[in-house]
Amino acid sequence: MGVFKKKSRLYYVLDIVVNVVIIVLLAWLIRTYLVSPFHVSGPSMCDTLNKIDGKCVSSYGEYIIVDEFSYQSFFGKEVGSPKAGDVVVFNPPGNEKQYFVKRVIGVPGDKIKIESGYVYKWIDGKFERLDESEYLNSSNLGRTFTPNNETRIYEVPEDKYFVMGDNRNQSTDSRQCFRSAFGSKCNADHENTYVPEDMIRGKAWFVFWPINSMRGLN
């Protein structure tokens, strides 16, 4: 009888350990390959993100769920890749500790021009102005500028992306090589202008906090 009780206790402990291991493993798999939470900081994506109670939040604000699965690669085959218009979470070039959230404007092979406050894309042999009215508010529409407000053409390299914040007036992005310190030295050929595909962590899926701001993205 004593041996049976001893075994029962051992099985009970092992059962708990196995269940904890399984839960931890599942949580790791989900967070690494499926979805993960992300706390949005700063005003660079207003009004799309961090506009709470009618005001653009300058510090930490909304929480979003990031879809990591859509951009995964398994056994050499991609599930998918970022598309123009996607809102993505990524590490800026040369900085694996910090996370940014911006909108993809140019994908590999695209030619993007910024001129007189507007964004253009090379389509069928000519530059055509992008319709950004769906995600730029009235304060930003027609006010996309480069350092020194000069016309620039960006030819997006293979496996890299050109991204900008929706709040163009308050966003550090591909236009400034993600660092305002570069100033006029940041140009279309600068090594930090574009985001490598392997630095993109996932696609912003939906806002889950605050509750009264819950909504889908993209």
**Per-residue CA distances from 60 to 26, 43, 148 (Å):** 28, 9, 30
Three-point CA angle 145, 130, 180, nearest 5°: 25
Beta partners for 126?
123
- CB contact set of 178 (below 8 Å; sequence gap of 6+): 92, 93, 95, 100, 172, 192
Residue 102 is among the residues annotated as catalytic for this protein: yes
* Of 44, 70, 171, 174, catalytic: 44
* Of 51, 102, 113, 203, catalytic: 102
The beta strands (E) that lie in the chain are given as: 35-41, 51-52, 55-56, 60-67, 73-74, 77-78, 87-90, 100-106, 111-115, 118-123, 126-129, 152-155, 160-164, 195-196, 200-209, 215-216
How many CA atoms does the CB half-sphere of 104 hold within 13 Å? 25
Q: Do β-strands 152-155 and 111-115 pair in parallel, antiparallel, or remain unpaired?
A: antiparallel
Spatial distance between the Cα atoms of 55 and 166, rounded to a whole number of angstroms: 15
CB 77 within 8 A of CB 218: no
Catalytically annotated residues:
44, 102
